[in-house]
Amino acid sequence: MVMLAPMHAEIVRVPVSDELAYWTVLAGPTLSVVGDIDDYLRHLRFGRACKESTTKTYAGHLKRLHVWCDERGLSRSDAAFRLATYVMHLRTTRRATSGRGFGRLPEESALAPALAANHGFYLHLADLGRVEAGVIDALFTTVPARSDGGTVAVRPRIRVDSRPSHASARPPAATHDEFAGVLGAAQTTRDRCMVALMACCALRVGQLVSLKREDIHFVPVGRTVPGCSYLQGPHLHLRKRGGHPKGAANKNRGTVILPVPSPVEMLYADWLRERIGIRRAADSPWAFVTFPGPTGDPGGEALSARRVQDLLADLSARAGRMSVGRSRWLRSVRLWSVSYSG
């Protein structure tokens, strides 16, 4: 098979309003929108009310599928019949972009979202009549329906284990000393506060970067703030919201109130003093913002989830705990939370 020249492609965020946005794929010499993928991602975001972060994840996976198809001159239908070959391509391709996993082959848990995105995309194409009927039979196992005699997709023919066993992929939880090393490696009050806040309240990265200043109520026991009736002392509100400028999302079904211990309250006060020196930070509603950059960037922008993930990896390395991965560190936060809660 003749291989065509590599295609340039990237994913971009498309704002629709102040609160709504989705991610799509651009490809080709002029970076044009990939129409069928864009249709599917818009359907996910606005037709099925999926999170913006979901469209970002799916856009990344579908970008790789589109590039693979283009390099081989395959139509969407042709690619469906060669999905096993595409999965083999994913398994044998080391990550070339910076970040976690750079230079390594993907694990089973990383392949599962890629297959989910591809299968959903093809089901969407089939619903719109944009691929031949045999495509669904090639991708899914089907059985006769009980009532009308039609066919119903049961499950994909190609599957991976999205939850590998503890022994094969999940390291044990970090110790108190290892967590203390990560916390002590933080060089700014912002980073110390974020690490401690995640530890105390066991926040996911998306929840942390989605916090707004209005969500943090550090008041004494017995006092309240306008619009909040909670009387048990310092706390924060995890609210379901979208519209984060970097695509982060808090996926709670509703609002959750979490108490916060006094050490974290003091670290947050230190961060607020440090924050005063950042231009534009005063105008930002987000609790944690960027510092000024070396190229003259004034800072004050909302943090992305990826930036915080990379920060945790850097702190782990700086602390001399190279074996403490992100998942291991996140499990250790519960230990620290218990130690402060008594």
pLDDT value at position 107? 77
Which candidate, 1, 67, 3, 9, places its Cα nearest to that of 33?
9
Q: Are 248 and 25 in contact (CB under 8 A)?
A: no
Q: CB-side exposure of 209: number of CA atoms within 13 Å?
A: 23
- Mean pLDDT highest for which of 8-17, 145-154, 245-254? 8-17
Q: What are the tokens at 146?
A: 């009980």
Alpha helix positions (H), 211-341: 262-275, 305-318, 326-341
Round to whole Å and give the CA distance between 187 and 197. 16
Percent of the chain with pLDDT over 70: 81
Q: Among 35, 47, 42, which Cα is nearest to 21's? A: 42
Q: Which tens digits make up the pLDDT trace of 274-298?
A: 999 998 899 999 999 999 988 778 8
The answer to whether the beta carbons of residues 27 and 7 sit under 8 Å apart is yes
* Between 102 and 163, the higher pLDDT residue: 102
Judged against a pLDDT cut of 50, whether residue 122 lies above it is answered with: yes
User: Span 61-88, mean pLDDT?
Assistant: 93
120-124, 169-173, 181-185, 319-323 — which is least confidently predicted?
169-173
From CA 248, how far away is CA 240, in angstroms rounded?
11
Euclidean distance between CA atoms 290 and 328, whole angstroms:
26
Q: What is the pTM of this model?
A: 0.62
Nearest to 248 by CA among 187, 332, 194, 309: 309
